[in-house]
Amino acid sequence: MISVQHTPSYNPAVVQAAVDRHFELLHLDELIPKEGKITIKPNLLLKRRPEEGTTTHPALVEAVVRRIQKVSNAQITLADSPGGPFTKQALEGIYRASGMEEVAKKTGAVLNYDVGSTHIPNPEGKLCKAFDLINPIAEADFIVSICKLKSHCMTGLSGGVKNLFGCIPGLTKPEFHWRYPEERNFCGMLLDLCGTVKPEITFVDAVVSMEGDGPSSGDLRETDMTLCATNPYELDLVLTKVIGRKPEDIPLVDCARERGLCPDSADEVTLCGDPLSTFADFKMPKSRTVDFITSIPKPLRGICEPIIRRYLTPRPKVLTNQCVGCGKCAESCPAHTIAIVDKKACIDRSRCIRCYCCHEMCPIHAIQVKRSRLLKF
């Protein structure tokens, strides 16, 4: 069951009322442990202010913390491994910019500065049998994920499942892009990760969402909702309906359907609370294209795939007039195809795996995802 609440602003009273209603409709008070360690995992992708719409809004995080504190004496920790280096200094800047530092001051929640990780086996994984997870996730007795509704240049959607990629420490994340460069395999890895982390509750910040070139360079869109569920796969399925897409259009959701982790259609999911708003004109990233590979007979795919990938897959392009040579793109590139030359980023296209990490991590939007001219006709 998915709880939907009309949440027209980030006014603290409005958000708290929505969170309280989610708890009531889904009987979440019964799930919360009275003691132990509870980790809340927001989306803190980059050092961005709340009004930039890249990260989970602090008003929602604060409301969830306060509601949990009403029924539990557990230690509540706010934790994420943002893009880039996983260091105390990096976390300090991101907590301050994103508003999490203020949430911790007002509520007594603990900000995580433990940059260690723990190896967690996942014997039931289809593609990945183990993950190194950041310690506050690995050691938690109960995990609450609070994601931000955004389009995503590789997975199509950043929601409940994709948010958990931040449970992998720092610069280990680009290694997964290198190991799983094909989008459906990457999505399969994310499903294995979700099965390892096993968040008990997932909230969605869809008060203001991001469309277009998400998850960091898109446009803000007022969608005026918060959602909540105990099943992140079903939640993502419903989010595809919110953004006006079919499940098969979103590879992460389509892979979940194939594994039987969610129904085939969002119409099969029970909703409660307010009516679900949908946005047929919700913009998707330029990198989302038709998957021509699956329409080719299997015996010919080995021959055709390299050609299609080279000429039809969108590629990152540096806007040299905007690039300041900070090196964040090179730092995040799993294939090590980017060099800083004369204070400008240069991409070796022959080795680029089209993971778009550089586009995602550029702090000043100086890298665009450029579609093939053949797809513009």
Looking up residue 96, the CATH number of its domain turns out to be 3.40.50.11440
In this structure, the answer to whether residues 215 and 331 fall within a common structural domain is no
Total number of domains in the chain? 2
| Residue given tokens 């905007």 in the structure block | 322
- Of 273, 306, 339, the position where a domain reaches its end is 273
Rounded to 10 degrees, the C-alpha dihedral 294/246/44/50 comes to 140
Q: Which domain does 364 fall in, by range?
A: 314-376
Residue 65: inside a domain, yes or no? yes
| Token output for 245 | 């897409």
Beta bridge partners of residue 228, listed in sequence order:
3, 203
Widest Cα–Cα separation across the chain:
61
Give the residue from 36, 40, 102, 108 showing the smallest Cα distance to 77.
Answer: 40
Q: What pLDDT shows up at residue 287?
A: 60
Residue 293: inside a domain, yes or no? no
E strand or H helix that includes residue 178: helix 173-179
Q: Residue ranges of the chain with pLDDT lower than 70?
A: 287-313, 371-377
Cβ neighbours, 10 Å, residue 245: 21
In this structure, the answer to whether residues 268 and 322 fall within a common structural domain is no
In this structure, the answer to whether residues 216 and 350 fall within a common structural domain is no
In this structure, the answer to whether residues 323 and 234 fall within a common structural domain is no
Q: What pLDDT shows up at residue 291?
A: 46
User: In a 3-state reduction of DSSP, which class is residue 345?
Assistant: strand
Residue 300: inside a domain, yes or no? no
- Of 273, 297, 322, the position where a domain reaches its end is 273
Give the residue from 34, 56, 64, 68 showing the smallest Cα distance to 141.
Answer: 34
Residue 255: inside a domain, yes or no? yes
Residue 288: inside a domain, yes or no? no
User: Could you write out the DSSP letters of every residue in 134-170?
Assistant: EHHHHT-SEEEEEEEEEEETTTEEESTTGGGGGGS-G
In this structure, the answer to whether residues 269 and 321 fall within a common structural domain is no
Q: What pLDDT shows up at residue 22?
A: 98
Distance CA 363, CA 324 (A): 10
Q: Which letter does DSSP use for residue 201 in this model?
A: E
The Cα-based distances of 125 to 130, 133, 309 in angstroms read 8, 15, 27
In this structure, are residues 126 and 180 in contact, taking their beta carbons and an 8 Å threshold?
no
In this structure, the answer to whether residues 155 and 39 fall within a common structural domain is yes
- Residue 252 CB burial class (10 angstroms; 0-12, 13-18, ≥19): buried
In this structure, the answer to whether residues 217 and 321 fall within a common structural domain is no
In this structure, the answer to whether residues 217 and 350 fall within a common structural domain is no
Residue 19: inside a domain, yes or no? yes
Strand runs labelled E in 176-286: 201-211, 219-229, 271-273
Give the residue from 106, 109, 92 showing the smallest Cα distance to 41.
Answer: 109
In this structure, the answer to whether residues 217 and 324 fall within a common structural domain is no
The Cα-based distances of 46 to 303, 343, 364 in angstroms read 39, 22, 11
Q: Is 343 left (phi over 0), alpha (psi -120 to 50) or beta?
A: left
Query: What is the pTM for the complete model shown?
Result: 0.84
Residue 240: inside a domain, yes or no? yes
In this structure, are residues 152 and 239 in contact, taking their beta carbons and an 8 Å threshold?
no
Give the CATH number of the domain where residue 324 resides.
3.30.70.20
Q: What pLDDT shows up at residue 143?
A: 98
Residue 291: inside a domain, yes or no? no
In this structure, the answer to whether residues 139 and 70 fall within a common structural domain is yes
Q: What pLDDT shows up at residue 274?
A: 98
- Of 254, 273, 292, the position where a domain reaches its end is 273
In this structure, the answer to whether residues 100 and 179 fall within a common structural domain is yes
In this structure, the answer to whether residues 364 and 227 fall within a common structural domain is no
Q: What pLDDT shows up at residue 221?
A: 98
